[in-house]
Amino acid sequence: MYRRFVCLFLVTACLTLIPFRSPAPLVYTPGEGWTYESVGGMGKWRRERAKDQLDVAQGAFDKQDYGLALKAARRVAKVWPLSDYAPQAQYLVGRCYEAKGHDEKAFAEYQKVVETYPKSENVKEVLQRQYAIATRFLEGQWFKLWGYIPAFPSMDRTAGMFEKIVKSGPYSEIAPQAQMRIGAAREKQKHFPEAVTAYERAADRYHDRAVIAADALYRAGLAYQKQARTAEYDQGAAGQAVATFTDFLTLYPDDARVPEAQKAIASLKTEQARGNFQTAQFYEKYNKPGGALVYYNEVLLQDPNSEYAVEARQRIEAIKQRLQTASR
């Protein structure tokens, strides 16, 4: 036992005395936190002035050394947050993450630019880059666990990204399209009422931009139509779809999609007529002639030229004759 203890002590002492270098040292700097330093390069990238530190970041970025560019840019933003160089540094942080394929992190860092430095000259480009990132997620790119492991797509998070873009610059060049894509993300979730809300908001907020407003109103009609077709036919959504498409025809009579809107209205009215015809049959089956007459008349009002209207007229006459006979 004593011999084993002596051997263990000698081995431990030898290992302790052997000089070695850590291949990936972490260095802590008061006020700045922990940073990774490569072997032989500890502190060589640090500068004492914000401008010089930003030059290091930009130079490294231009050489595609995104690790060094990220460290240097983050130091500028953290140590000199009120300097004239901080907005560009924060922007570079986002660029580095985007270049490294960490889109969600990049989006968050870009968001810091528009929230912390709203008057920065980079804000316009930042919004465009955020839009491009959100669009990639809309098209199916997966969000990552811990920033590294692709795990799942999420239209909820994607819609949230577009919402942030609109909130950051509601009247920017990119905002109308971002608002429209909120609706597209909600449609992919099959959350049609939320999609309609997004499209109607676009039509209302950007009414002075005819192309956007027309597209928004048309897509709102389509979303209502999709909602109407889910599960049992939704008469309320169908009615909203008809009203929305009718507004579209009235406001944008020269739009190329007018024929499609007209076909949609005709189809919706036929479906409404079918639904009311079935409801009328239900009332008639259970000897509720008053209710049956109401719904057969609705068929005539909604689609007077349909096959359902022909039979509805016949049933109305039959019910009226039966009621007259019963009253004698």
39-48, 120-129, 222-231, range with the lowest pLDDT = 39-48
Does 228 have pLDDT greater than 80? yes
Predicted confidence band at 269 (pLDDT cuts at 50, 70, 90)?
A: confident
Specify the pTM: 0.79
Check residue 29 and give its pLDDT. 54
Does 1 have pLDDT greater than 50? no
* Backbone phi and psi for residue 35, each to the nearest 5 degrees, phi listed first: -135, 150
- State how far the alpha carbon of 182 is from the alpha carbons of 131, 138, 207, 290, in Å: 11, 9, 17, 45
Q: Is 50 exposed, middle or buried (0-12, 13-18, 19+ CB in 10 A)?
A: buried
Beta strands in the chain (DSSP E): 26-29, 33-36, 143-145, 149-152
Check residue 17 and give its pLDDT. 45
Check residue 153 and give its pLDDT. 92
Amino acid letter, residue 205: R
